[in-house]
Amino acid sequence: MKRKKKMSRIKNNSLLWFTFLLLAWICFPASAAAESKPGEVDVQDIVFSHIKDAYTWHITEWNGKEISIPLPILLKSEERGWDLFLSSHLHHGNVHHNYYIAEEGDHAGKVVEKNSKGEEVKPLDLSLTKNVCGLLLSCGILLFIVLRTARWYKKHPNEAPGGFTGLMEMAVMFIHEGVVKEGIGKEYKPFSSYLLTVFFFILINNLIGIIPVFPGGANITGNITITAVLAACTFLAVNLFATKAYWKEIFWPNAPIFLKLPLPIMPFVEFFGVFTKPFALMIRLFANIMAGHTIILALTCLIFITASMGTAINGTMTVVSVLFTVFMNCLELLVACLQAYIFTLLSANYIGLAKVRE
Amino acid sequence: MLSAILLQAATAGMGIAKLGATVGAGLAAIGAGIGIGLIGKGAVEGISRQPSAAGDIRTSMLIMGALVEGVALFAIVVCFLGLFQ
């Protein structure tokens, strides 16, 4: 009886310590800030350098020295063919094999070369940038989780899962029953793998974006090109498998005749709607995630902006900033799960709407 | 009065684009606040009328909230474009 009490006391204490350490992590991303002028913190530069794609994976700054992982750059120039080298060769404006990173102009921040006519031209850039590495990492995690779970079911037929497999079953059944079957209806089978993949892909990428330290922190779903590809996949899934009745309803909708002839107003609006729905999916996911990251970065920079204003203001702003950042991180966690769910729900509903039966 | 503010901003070298972008962001926040507030009001009234349907109503509220916030974020994206171009 005494032993049981002691065990529960130790467990409660360790839970408290664990929570404290979790919250203490919030202070650590602050060490990645860099100053542009002595005494002035360039918030815009800090925020954008964390949100944009980059050729090196910047981890932190220690004693004035930058700690970052140089990533490989793979280029195909029209005149000189393929080239592969580490991006550390292009640091601080160095020129390597006639390639350099453009400072300004159309291709600012990207690798360009001067071709034989002297123009600055951008070669075919297939580099492993920060976002690509982040994508590879999150795809690796996704494959690991999903394939391990599938293998468990193969090895233990007719058994109820527990632990992590049980959690995955809960999540998969929630999406499969509540979203896929409800949204699409009878013909859900071909689309369930795509929708489940989209849900877990967006969820894992969102969660990785919230983690501030090294393997996390790549702003993947907050990049509009990636959400554009996801929206394009939904666009293809909706329109390639739509029934004839769906296309008839777009180009000759069930509307009064004066809206269709002589000027095809309603067909035009309906056709436009085919493109605006995936566009809205893209913008919704992109803006939610990017805005969340921007707010957290700006709140963290608040500490450094007030650093030069004296210890009283700095101390207060640090406490305020940490509290706000913890709140924003909790909100970002909710937004991460909710946006993945919304994307999947709307995709399922659009696919279901496209399967119109006369 | 509005033209006086615009004139002051232009002479201060701030640029009309930045002024427009920041005002737009504030208006988008107002729009999102009103929209999501109305959703919350409807949800809370629905739950108070029928507490047994609280789970369904909560799910619908979260989904509608995400959709309305999406529209406000359209405006935020446009403001971002105006701020840094």
The tens digit of pLDDT for each residue in A296-352 reads 988 888 888 888 788 888 888 889 889 999 999 999 999 999 999 999 999 999 999
Please state, in angstroms and rounded to a whole number, the distance separating the CA atoms of residues B47 and A273. Answer: 34
| Partner A contacted by B33 (CB < 8 A) | no
pLDDT of A27 > 50? The answer is no
> Do A338 and A226 belong together in one domain?
yes
**Which residue in the set B62, B73, B76 is minimally distant from A338, CB to CB?**
B62
pLDDT in tens, A77-106: 888 888 888 888 877 777 877 788 887 777
**Domain range annotation of chain B:** 16-83
| Pairing assessment for the beta strands A65-70 and A111-114 based on DSSP bridges | unpaired
- Give the predicted TM-score (pTM) of the model: 0.83
What DSSP state is assigned to residue A262? S
What is the Cα–Cα distance from A170 to A19, expressed in whole angstroms? Answer: 26
A207 and A83 both lie in a single domain: no
What is the structure's pLDDT at B27?
Answer: 94
Q: Which of A51, A221, A288 to mutate to test the interface with B (most CBs of B within 10 A)?
A: A288
Q: Considering its fold, how many domains does chain A have in total?
A: 2
Q: Do A338 and B66 touch (CB under 8 A)?
A: yes
For range A20-30, the mean pLDDT: 52
**Are residues A342 and B73, on separate chains, in Cβ contact within 8 Å?**
no
User: How far does CA B9 lie from the centroid of its chain?
Assistant: 24
Task: Find residues 41-80 of chain B whose CB sits inside 8 Å of chain A.
Answer: 62-63, 66-67, 69-70, 73-74, 76-77
| Mean pLDDT, rounded, of chain A | 84
What are the φ and ψ backbone dihedral angles of B45, each rounded to 5 degrees? -65, -40
Query: What integer pLDDT is reported at residue A34 of this predicted model?
Result: 40
Q: Is residue A111 part of a domain?
A: yes
Percentage of residues in chain A having pLDDT higher than 70: 90
DSSP string for residues in A96-160: BTTEEE--SSTTTTSEEEE-TTS-EEPPEE----HHHHHHHHHHHHHHHHHHHHHHHHHHSTT--
| Among the partner residues A44, A283, A339, nearest to B66 by beta-carbon distance | A339
Between residues A99 and A22, the one the model is more confident about: A99
Whether the pLDDT of residue B35 is over 80: the answer is: yes
- Measured CA distances, A264 to A255, A267, A354 (Å): 11, 6, 21
Q: Classify residue A41: in a domain, yes or no.
A: no
Residue B31 has pLDDT above 90, yes or no: yes
Q: Which CATH superfamily is domain B16-83 in?
A: F1F0 ATP synthase subunit C (1.20.20.10)
Q: For residue A291, which residues of chain B lie inside 8 Å, CB to CB? A: 73, 76
Residue A287 predicted with pLDDT over 70: yes
Question: Residue B60 above 80 pLDDT?
Answer: yes
Looking at residue A33, its pLDDT comes to 39
Partner residue opposite A287 with nearest CB, options B62, B67, B77: B77
If asked whether residues A256 and A147 sit together in one domain, one would say: yes
Q: Which amino acid is at A112?
A: V
Please give the residue range of the domain that contains residue A93: 72-125
Site of tokens 């404006």: A93
Dmax (CA) of chain B: 61
A37 pLDDT exceeds 60? Answer: no
Average pLDDT over residues B35-58: 94
Which helix (H) or strand (E) covers residue A74, if one does?
strand A72-77
- Tell whether A251 and A282 lie within a shared domain: yes
CA-wise closest residue to A47 among A322, A358, A339, A292: A292
Residues of B within 8 A of A286 (CB-CB) are 77
Domain check: are A217 and A327 in the same one? yes
Residue A141 lies in a domain: yes
Domain-located, residue A9: no
pLDDT band at residue A279 under the 50/70/90 scheme: very high
Sequence-ordered list of residues with C-beta below 8 angstroms from that of A42, at least 6 positions apart, any chain: A34, A35, A36
Amino acid at A206: N
- Give the model's pLDDT for residue A35: 41
Burial class (CB in 10 A: 0-12, 13-18, 19+), A240: exposed
Within-domain flag for A103: yes
Same domain, A225 and A345: yes
Same domain, A179 and A261: yes
Strands A81-86 and A72-77: antiparallel
- Are A318 and A303 in contact by the 8 Å Cβ rule? The answer is yes
Helix axes B2-11 and B16-49, enclosed angle (nearest 10):
130
Residues A171 and A254 grouped into a single domain:
yes
Residue A99 structure tokens: 């390639």
Could you tell me if residue A135 is inside a domain? Answer: yes
pLDDT at residue number A32 = 38
The token pair at A299 is 């709140």
> Looking at the structure, do residues A163 and A92 belong to the same domain, yes or no?
no
Within a domain: A245: yes
Of all helices (H) and strands (E), which one includes residue A84?
A: strand A81-86
Res. B44: pLDDT tops 90: yes
Maximum average pLDDT range among A145-159, B32-46, B56-70 = B32-46
DSSP annotation of A40:
B
* Cα–Cα–Cα angle for A52, A54, A56, rounded to 5 degrees: 145
Residue A243 and residue A350 in one domain: yes
CA distance A324 to A215: 24
Instruction: Enter the ipTM.
Output: 0.78
A78 and A223 assigned to the same domain: no
Q: Is B25 in the A-facing interface, judged by CB distances under 8 Å? A: no
In a domain, A35, yes or no: no
CA atoms within 13 A on the CB side of B21: 15
